[in-house]
C-alpha cells in the first residue's frame, strides 16, 4: 500500500537485454530512501499509464538495439509517438527525465531515446556502452533525485510534506585495512592504494526477490519451448581462412528445406540458439554445491515480502525445468557481472579480504578497477566466482542476477535463388585472451560451440575431407527479418556495398540474388560497387572466388579490395627501395575516398544506395566519417551541412547499416 503522503513519480523502461530494466528497478527501489514512491512500468504496459494525463514526474530508461531499433517491449510505444500526429505541445505538461542507453559504435546511437526526447526535460543523458555505461549512468542517477525533488517542489500544490533529503541509495563502507600480503601489482583480486585505503561508496544492496526450491522428481516431463524456432541440420562446413590467419572464419550451410518459416531474403539475419558450455555448467553446479541435484526440478516463485518494486519471476524461466537445463539453456552464465550483482555477492563472501575487494569493485571509487578487471576483459560470472573462492552465493541469487541466455544473430550470406532450401552464414570464431581472473584463453560462447559441433566434418581450403557417414549436427535457429537492409527493388538503381571481413556476408546474398535476375534482357542494371578489406590477400580474403566470379559475370561492376597488413609489409619493402608518395588504401574507407567522385555521384545525383555491414567498433564510424568528408568536398559544404545530407540519406533509407560489435 503506498503512503499517500509521499509524492509519487512514474518510472518507464524499455529494455532488450535487461540493462535498462535493472537501472529502472534500482531507481524504483531507491525511491523509498528518497521519501518518494515510484510506480514502475514497462513501456509496453500502455494501459497502465497515461502520459496525456500524467502530472507527476516521469523517468524514462530506454535502450536501443541493433541499428537504432527500440527494444521489443518499447516497440508499440515508440511506434505510436512516431506515427501519431501530435501537436508540438502535446506533451508540454509532462515533466520528465530520460536516460538513453546505447553504443556509440552504432551510428544510430541511442536512437530510441532520441525518438522519445522532447522539450520539458528534467535531466537527460545518453549512456554509451562503447565506453562503459557506468561512466554516464552513475552521475546521472546522482543528479536524478535532485531533479525529481526540484520538479516536485514546483508542483508542491498537490503534496503536503516536503521530501526528506535522502542519501541517494548510497551506503557508506569504512575502509578495512591490512589484507594479506601487499602485492606490488593490482589485479582482479588485489587492489593498490589509494583504492585499497579509501572509504567506499557502494550501491545499496539489491533486495532479494525470488524463492527457489529444488524437488527430486522421479520422472520429469521437461518442456523446453523455443518460440518459432526450427531445428535444422548443418549440412556443410568450410573454413574460409588459412590456418595462419589471425581470425578463423567459418562458413556453415543449413538445410532449411523442411521449414517454410525460414524463408529469408538477402539482408535478413537469423538467431542461433546455443547452450552454455557443459564444463562451465558443471563448474557452476560445483560452486553452488548442487552437482548431485542437477536433475532436480526447479521451482521459482516471488518472495512474498520482497522490497523489490515491480518484482516478477523472469519470463524466460519455464515451469517444469531441471536445474541442468536451467543453467544450460536459460541463463547467460558467462554474462559480465554488473556492480549490483557484485554488491549482492559481498553478502555471501566469507573471507574479509575478498569481501573488501568485491566492495571495491562495485564502489564508485573502484570504477576504474571494475572496468579494467571485469568489464573490459568481459570477465564471466563463473570466472569471478572462481577468483573469489569464499564467495558462495545461493542459486536464487544467480537466477535474480544472471540475464537471459540470448540467441546470437548471424547475417544470411546466400540467396534462395542460388541455394534453394539452404541458408548459409559466415562467422569469425571469437577468441578471449587470458587475463587476470582467466587462466586460459577461451572461445566465444556461440562461435566456440559451433566450431566444436562441426570441427570433425570441416572442409579446409585446399583439403576436402568430409566424411559422408558423420551424423549431421543440428542447431536451433529462427528468422530475424530485416525489412530495410535489402538491395533496391528497382534493378536500375545503382548501389554501393561496404563489407570488410565477415561484413561481406549479406552482400554475397545480394549479388547471388541479382545474378538470378540477370537474365531479364529488358532491364538496364544499375552499377554495383563492393568495398572489401581484410588483413592478407592469401590468408583471409573471404569469398574471393565468388567475388571475382561476380565481376566476370557482370553482376558486380567494381570490386575494390584492400589488405591492411600486406600493404604495410609491402610498403616497408618499398620504403627500403624508393620512397613512394602514393599512400595505399589500407581500409575500406580509404578506398571509398579514392573513389569519391563516383560514390558521391551515385548517392547525391543518381538516388543510389549505400550499405555498410560488419564491425561496429571502428569500421562503421570510419566509413561514416569518410562519407562526411566526401560530401564536404564534392558539395563544397561545411561539416554540419555534410552531416545533414548524410542524415537525409539515412532518413530516406538509402544509407543502411547492419553492424555488430
Residues in touch with ligand FAD (CB under 6 A): 66, 269, 334, 377-378, 408-411, 425-428, 430, 432-433, 444-448, 502, 505, 658, 660-661
Residues 620 and 574: beta-carbon distance below 8 Å: no
Taking the complex as a whole, the smallest distance from the CB of residue 523 to ligand FAD amounts, in Å, to: 29
Distances (CA, A) of 2 to 21, 58, 96, 168, 304: 22, 17, 21, 20, 17
Shorter beta-carbon distance to ligand FAD: residue 212 or 379: 379
In degrees to the nearest 10, what's the CA dihedral of 327, 331, 334, 338? -130
Taking the complex as a whole, the smallest distance from the CB of residue 109 to ligand FAD amounts, in Å, to: 15
**Cβ-based neighbours of 407, under 8 Å, separated by 6 or more:** 271, 272, 273, 274, 478
Q: What is the DSSP string of 65-101?
A: BTTTBPPGGGHHHHHHHHHS---TTTTTT--EEEEEE
Nearest C-alpha neighbor of 598 from the set 548, 641, 634, 564: 634
Shorter beta-carbon distance to ligand FAD: residue 430 or 628: 430
**Cβ-based neighbours of 206, under 8 Å, separated by 6 or more:** 26, 29, 308, 340, 341, 343, 344, 400, 401
Q: What is the DSSP string of 35-66?
A: T-EEEEEETT-GGG--TTT--S-EEEEEE-BT
Taking the complex as a whole, the smallest distance from the CB of residue 120 to ligand FAD amounts, in Å, to: 34
Taking the complex as a whole, the smallest distance from the CB of residue 289 to ligand FAD amounts, in Å, to: 26
Taking the complex as a whole, the smallest distance from the CB of residue 660 to ligand FAD amounts, in Å, to: 3
Enter the C-alpha cell of residue 283. 563448474
Shorter beta-carbon distance to ligand FAD: residue 425 or 611: 425
Enter the C-alpha cell of residue 467. 566424411
Taking the complex as a whole, the smallest distance from the CB of residue 432 to ligand FAD amounts, in Å, to: 5
Taking the complex as a whole, the smallest distance from the CB of residue 530 to ligand FAD amounts, in Å, to: 16
Between CA 463 and CA 459 the distance in angstroms is 6
Shorter beta-carbon distance to ligand FAD: residue 133 or 152: 133
Please provide residue 142's backbone torsions phi and psi, each rounded to the nearest 5 degrees: -65, -40
Taking the complex as a whole, the smallest distance from the CB of residue 448 to ligand FAD amounts, in Å, to: 6
Shorter beta-carbon distance to ligand FAD: residue 153 or 481: 481
Q: What is the DSSP string of 401-458?
A: HS-B-PPEEEEB---TTTSTTEEEEEEEPPEEPPBTTBSS-EE-HHHHHHHHHHGGGP
SS3 at position 322:
strand
Shorter beta-carbon distance to ligand FAD: residue 451 or 609: 451
Taking the complex as a whole, the smallest distance from the CB of residue 446 to ligand FAD amounts, in Å, to: 3
Shorter beta-carbon distance to ligand FAD: residue 155 or 661: 661
Shorter beta-carbon distance to ligand FAD: residue 112 or 151: 112
Distances (CA, A) of 203 to 62, 169, 348, 356, 365: 21, 7, 16, 14, 11
Taking the complex as a whole, the smallest distance from the CB of residue 22 to ligand FAD amounts, in Å, to: 18
Strand partners, 203: 170
Taking the complex as a whole, the smallest distance from the CB of residue 395 to ligand FAD amounts, in Å, to: 23
Enter the C-alpha cell of residue 592. 571509398
Shorter beta-carbon distance to ligand FAD: residue 25 or 268: 268
Strands (E), 199-334: 200-203, 210-215, 230-239, 249-255, 269-273, 297-302, 321-322
DSSP 206: P
SS (H, E, C) 128-146: ECCCCHHHHHHHHHHHHHH
Distances (CA, A) of 206 to 335, 339, 396, 644: 18, 10, 13, 44
Shorter beta-carbon distance to ligand FAD: residue 310 or 444: 444
Shorter beta-carbon distance to ligand FAD: residue 435 or 491: 435
CA 589 distance to own-chain centroid: 24
Taking the complex as a whole, the smallest distance from the CB of residue 581 to ligand FAD amounts, in Å, to: 37
Taking the complex as a whole, the smallest distance from the CB of residue 591 to ligand FAD amounts, in Å, to: 21
Nearest C-alpha neighbor of 531 from the set 502, 568, 558: 558
Distances (CA, A) of 512 to 418, 420, 496: 6, 12, 15
Shorter beta-carbon distance to ligand FAD: residue 223 or 661: 661
Shorter beta-carbon distance to ligand FAD: residue 236 or 356: 236
Amino acid at each position: 500500500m503506498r503512503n499517500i503522503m509521499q509524492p509519487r513519480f512514474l518510472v518507464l523502461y524499455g529494455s532488450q537485454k535487461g540493462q535498462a530494466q535493472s537501472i529502472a528497478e534500482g531507481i524504483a527501489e531507491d525511491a523509498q530512501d528518497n521519501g518518494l514512491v515510484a510506480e514502475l512500468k514497462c513501456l509496453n504496459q500502455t494501459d497502465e499509464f497515461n502520459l496525456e494525463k500524467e502530472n507527476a514526474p516521469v523517468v524514462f530508461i530506454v535502450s536501443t538495439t541493433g541499428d537504432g531499433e527500440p527494444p521489443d517491449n518499447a516497440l508499440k510505444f515508440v511506434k505510436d509517438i512516431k506515427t501519431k500526429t501530435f501537436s508540438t505541445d502535446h506533451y508540454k505538461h509532462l515533466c520528465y527525465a530520460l536516460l538513453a542507453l546505447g553504443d556509440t559504435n552504432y551510428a544510430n546511437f541511442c536512437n530510441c531515446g532520441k525518438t522519445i526526447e522532447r522539450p520539458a526535460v528534467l535531466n537527460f543523458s545518453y549512456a554509451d556502452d562503447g565506453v562503459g555505461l557506468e561512466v554516464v549512468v552513475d552521475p546521472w542517477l546522482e543528479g536524478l533525485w535532485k531533479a525529481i525533488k526540484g520538479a516536485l517542489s514546483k508542483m508542491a500544490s498537490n503534496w503536503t510534506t516536503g521530501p526528506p533529503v535522502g542519501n541517494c541509495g548510497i551506503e557508506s563502507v569504512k575502509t578495512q585495512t591490512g589484507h594479506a600480503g601487499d602485492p606490488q601489482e593490482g589485479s582482479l583480486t588485489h587492489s593498490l592504494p589509494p583504492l585499497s585505503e579509501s572509504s567506499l561508496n557502494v550501491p545499496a544492496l539489491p533486495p532479494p526477490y525470488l524463492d527457489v526450491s529444488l524437488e527430486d522428481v522421479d520422472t520429469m516431463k521437461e518442456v523446453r519451448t523455443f518460440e518459432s524456432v526450427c531445428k535444422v541440420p548443418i549440412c556443410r562446413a568450410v573454413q574460409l581462412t588459412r590456418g595462419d590467419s589471425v581470425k578463423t572464419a567459418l562458413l556453415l550451410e543449413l538445410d532449411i528445406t523442411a521449414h517454410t518459416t525460414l524463408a529469408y531474403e538477402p539482408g535478413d539475419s537469423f538467431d542461433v540458439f546455443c547452450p552454455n558450455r557443459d564444463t562451465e555448467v558443471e563448474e557452476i553446479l560445483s560452486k553452488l554445491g548442487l552437482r548431485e541435484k542437477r536433475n532436480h526440478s526447479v521451482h521459482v516463485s516471488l518472495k512474498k515480502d520482497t522490497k523489490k518494486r515491480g518484482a516478477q519471476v523472469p519470463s524466460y524461466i519455464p515451469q517444469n525445468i531441471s536445474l541442468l537445463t536451467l543453467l544450460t539453456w536459460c541463463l547467460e552464465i558467462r554474462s559480465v557481472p554488473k556492480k549490483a550483482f557484485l554488491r549482492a555477492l559481498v553478502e555471501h563472501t566469507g573471507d574479509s579480504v575478498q569481501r573488501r575487494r568485491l566492495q571495491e569493485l562495485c564502489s564508485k571509487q573502484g570504477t576504474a578497477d571494475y572496468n579494467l578487471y571485469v568489464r573490459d576483459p568481459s570477465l564471466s560470472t563463473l570466472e569471478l566466482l572462481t577468483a573469489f573462492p569464499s564467495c558462495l552465493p545461493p542459486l536464487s541469487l544467480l537466477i535474480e542476477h544472471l540475464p537471459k541466455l540470448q540467441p546470437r544473430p548471424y547475417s544470411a550470406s546466400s540467396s534462395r535463388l542460388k541455394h534453394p532450401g539452404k541458408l548459409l552464414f559466415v562467422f569469425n570464431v571469437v577468441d578471449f585472451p587470458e587475463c587476470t581472473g582467466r587462466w586460459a584463453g577461451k572461445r566465444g560462447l556461440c562461435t566456440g560451440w559451433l566450431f566444436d559441433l562441426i570441427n570433425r566434418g570441416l572442409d579446409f581450403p585446399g583439403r576436402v575431407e568430409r566424411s559422408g557417414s558423420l551424423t549431421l549436427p543440428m542447431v536451433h535457429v529462427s528468422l530475424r527479418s530485416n525489412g530495410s537492409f535489402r538491395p533496391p527493388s528497382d534493378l536500375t538503381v545503382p548501389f554501393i556495398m561496404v563489407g570488410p571481413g565477415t561484413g561481406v556476408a549479406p552482400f554475397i546474398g545480394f549479388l547471388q540474388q541479382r545474378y538470378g535476375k540477370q537474365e531479364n534482357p529488358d532491364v538496364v542494371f544499375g552499377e554495383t560497387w563492393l568495398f572489401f578489406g581484410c588483413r592478407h590477400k592469401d590468408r583471409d580474403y573471404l569469398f574471393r572466388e565468388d567475388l571475382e566470379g561476380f565481376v566476370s559475370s557482370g553482376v558486380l561492376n567494381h570490386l575494390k579490395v584492400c589488405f591492411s597488413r600486406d600493404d604495410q609489409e609491402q610498403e616497408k619493402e618499398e620504403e627500403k627501395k624508393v620512397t613512394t608518395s602514393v599512400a595505399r588504401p589500407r581500409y575500406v574507407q580509404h578506398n571509398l575516398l579514392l573513389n569519391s567522385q563516383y560514390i558521391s555521384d551515385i548517392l547525391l545525383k543518381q538516388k543510389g544506395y549505400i550499405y555498410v555491414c560488419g564491425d561496429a567498433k571502428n569500421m562503421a564510424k570510419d566509413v561514416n566519417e569518410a562519407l562526411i568528408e566526401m560530401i564536404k568536398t564534392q558539395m563544397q559544404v561545411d561539416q554540419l551541412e555534410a552531416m545533414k545530407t548524410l542524415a537525409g540519406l539515412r532518413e530516406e533509407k538509402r544509407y543502411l547499416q547492419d553492424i555488430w560489435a
